[in-house]
Structure 1
């Protein structure tokens, strides 16, 4: 039933986009059919060859991707076509990994590989020095631009899972420090690189992943409290040391002081959400051109304006179910490495959603990150389907 509803949602969105133009835009219909075909291929793979795994994970991912491609098509057809290509690539990556990975438990022994990969990936953008929208978190190789932090999320989770699975509670702080000092250094290195890159959103995500996995692995609240205290101290230092941090906080606290300047993004996003109301103005009937960065950072504002707050809340519910199904797999599997991987990947998705939606609603300082599977972004799409493949394999283990 959920699959049928997904097909109906997909064709309803793209048919709506097609009839908005005169003559009808058949390209929108074709794109909807292609998306349905990709969805069917993934369902056949999972249901026929891996029936023991969670069948909802890929379905939820496809629902979010369908919404993202449709909204991007409404905003910019060329960007939607690129997103469709990235979605196709993500599906291919998902299929290859699901077929190729024999058992996630077998990869626990490669802790040093994950460690070296994280240490090499995280400072990569600092060396490249490419500035995009004020942040130096992009690298271009052979004309292809990507964010190293997206790949770093995967290696970061894999390393922490491999390192923390060895933790043993000996009721001795010194013994605990011997076990936790190396993961702590990797976390500090990663956060430090992201702050220097002005990528504050990714820094929050990495911190959320680390603190969640630390608590699950140790079961000790005192370490979580200590980590939070250190994070607060580090945030205060970053506020006084880096001008871009002070600027983000000032805009967050007083966006209406300069609505046509520094506060323009937040103000226009809030205007769009409020003008849509509960049920929206209708797909294609809003004014998303007034919303800056509407294909990535503020795509949720566009969705709320044209499809309504109820639709936006529905998207948040799907993200919650996505997180729930991932955590459910962690309870069903017995291997510690697999459990920590599941928790880390699920926390990664949940933190990213909370950070970007919180920024759009001005609950926290705005940070330039993508809304998973909906916003435009190739590296983000590939990362999400990579994480999804790992979650799928672990759900089979359970």
Structure 2
């Protein structure tokens, strides 16, 4: 229970900045600070306190820092949505409460993550269907065909698709980890696996290209592809997969720029937004003005002019945060997302099985890298991609999907080592047949199954090959150590990404501020 007590103390501590921030907005709006005017942050704290009690019962071993981090991000988000789009604040608040309830419901429904292994292909099919659905029945908003309309509501199915696809990938990688980590040839010093083992990489690459072409959604395509590459590297330790994946990404990016006009526009606006400051570059130019105006400490909650940015409450909410809370406030938000990444990957390192570890890795990346993409876009570090800032941007689909991810991370943490379940082996090498082993690792043209010695006696070639695979650094306890080392590298990578964001934010808000 010490973990839950820590979580409770962190929640109480987090309530102070959340309530004080909302109180500052109330005062700027000309109202009096009272229990009634502070009902939103107090009610939000009550909802998270109830969620804490549920976690105490349903997932007592879960990470104690994730829920408080989400509470602070959600509290800052609802404050700025209320300040920037008052007419949308009530609906956003209702969706936020529903999201907290959905998180608890997911924890209650998903007793353990083993169910993923049984239904991984079902999850994969559902994810692909949700991802591709807008192509056929979608509604175009702001140039992207990402939404579908149901009974007067707009839903972005891609937000839920990433949850199902991550779970499918986790199940697939857990089942084939050892086979995917075997390489029997070298090209330019890189160990290259058999071509058929690369087919999932090509499949994901193709799907991402379809998203860019037909849905005009550059952000989701980059997000899905990055999640897949990270999970593949964490699962196999083969840097060659990353090299091949980045090469495919470069080919796809060049092709998209050459043939797709909206990709060209995004790139040109990124290179020089002031060239068409009243047209295509208007959003990013106004974003830079707001950030520069904020400086080190900000202009104060409610005193900024971020409303000049179109759709500021959604894609550009971080620009408003940076203007009114300054570099210190914006940097604090980025540090919170960095801490979320660290705690999520720590959960993956503690996970009792490959399945839980890969699920936690992918789900953490889905939140953390999405935050990097949108903040990097609005601060002009990278081309603008148009994804939402998790837990903070206005939008129901993103909020609901993000809280489902939090629930699954808490579940993965509750199943971690050191509790009732023992550490399980890596992959399922013991369950596969000799034919599968031979076909996976045999060089082209070799057929172990046709060799007489292969099926003779108890010491077959397949059995010998199985022992070789089980003796590799990716097997047994050594495999867990190798996995933990790769997750440590992933922690450093995400820490570096957010450090770069903070450095770039410092450049925009302090060093370059007067020029802007």
Q: Normalising by the residue count of structure 2, what TM-score does the alignment of the two structures yield?
A: 0.74
SS in 2 for 1:139: strand
Which residue is 1:342 aligned to?
360
CA distance in 2, matches of 1:4, 1:24: 24
CA distance in 1, matches of 2:387, 2:226: 15
Q: Does 1:178 align with 2:196?
A: yes
- Correspondence 1:5-24 to 2 at 5 A: 5-24=13-32
Which residue is 1:377 aligned to?
395
Q: How many pairs were matched up?
A: 398
Which residue is 1:365 aligned to?
383
Which of these residues, 112, 126, 134, is aligned with residue 135 of structure 2? 126
Asked if the contact 1:195/1:203 (under 8 Å) is kept, the reply is: no
CA-atom RMSD, angstroms?
Answer: 1.7
Which residue is 1:212 aligned to?
230
- Correspondence 1:123-272 to 2 at 5 A: 123-167=132-176, 168=179, 169-172=181-184, 176-182=194-200, 184-272=202-290
- 1:396, distance to aligned residue in structure 2 (A): 0.6
- 1:28, distance to aligned residue in structure 2 (A): 3.6
- 1:175, distance to aligned residue in structure 2 (A): 6.6
Which residue is 1:324 aligned to?
342
Which residue is 1:395 aligned to?
413
Asked if the contact 2:29/2:302 (under 8 Å) is kept, the reply is: no
CA distance in 2, matches of 1:224, 1:183: 10
Residues 235-262 of structure 1 show CA distances to partners (whole Å, capped at 9, x for unaligned) of 1111111111111111111111111111
CA distance in 2, matches of 1:49, 1:120: 31
Residues 93-130 of structure 1 show CA distances to partners (whole Å, capped at 9, x for unaligned) of 11011112111123212122022112312211110241
Asked if the contact 1:94/1:388 (under 8 Å) is kept, the reply is: yes
> CA 1:263 to 1:97, structure 2 compared with 1: closer, same or farther past 3 Å?
same
Which residue is 2:446 aligned to?
none
Structure 2: 5+ residue stretches without partners: 1-8, 186-191, 417-516
- 1:83, distance to aligned residue in structure 2 (A): 1.3
> CA 1:195 to 1:212, structure 2 compared with 1: closer, same or farther past 3 Å?
farther
> CA 1:115 to 1:3, structure 2 compared with 1: closer, same or farther past 3 Å?
closer
CA distance in 1, matches of 2:266, 2:29: 40
Residues 291-344 of structure 1 show CA distances to partners (whole Å, capped at 9, x for unaligned) of 221101111110111111111000000001101111001111131111111110
Asked if the contact 1:119/1:186 (under 8 Å) is kept, the reply is: no
CA distance in 2, matches of 1:23, 1:345: 40
- 1:70, distance to aligned residue in structure 2 (A): 0.6
Asked if the contact 2:11/2:71 (under 8 Å) is kept, the reply is: no
Residues 277-300 of structure 1 show CA distances to partners (whole Å, capped at 9, x for unaligned) of 110011111112212211011111
SS in 1 for 2:145: strand
CA distance in 2, matches of 1:109, 1:188: 26
Asked if the contact 2:257/2:263 (under 8 Å) is kept, the reply is: yes
CA distance in 1, matches of 2:275, 2:29: 40
- 1:180, distance to aligned residue in structure 2 (A): 4.2
Asked if the contact 2:134/2:146 (under 8 Å) is kept, the reply is: yes
- 1:193, distance to aligned residue in structure 2 (A): 2.4
Asked if the contact 1:122/1:190 (under 8 Å) is kept, the reply is: no
- Correspondence 1:58-97 to 2 at 5 A: 58-97=67-106
Which residue is 2:59 aligned to?
50
CA distance in 1, matches of 2:339, 2:44: 22
Q: Does 1:297 align with 2:315?
A: yes
Which residue is 2:513 aligned to?
none
- 1:388, distance to aligned residue in structure 2 (A): 0.6
> CA 1:290 to 1:172, structure 2 compared with 1: closer, same or farther past 3 Å?
same
Mean alpha-carbon deviation: is it higher for 45-54 or for 252-261? 45-54
Q: Normalising by the residue count of structure 1, what TM-score does the alignment of the two structures yield?
A: 0.96
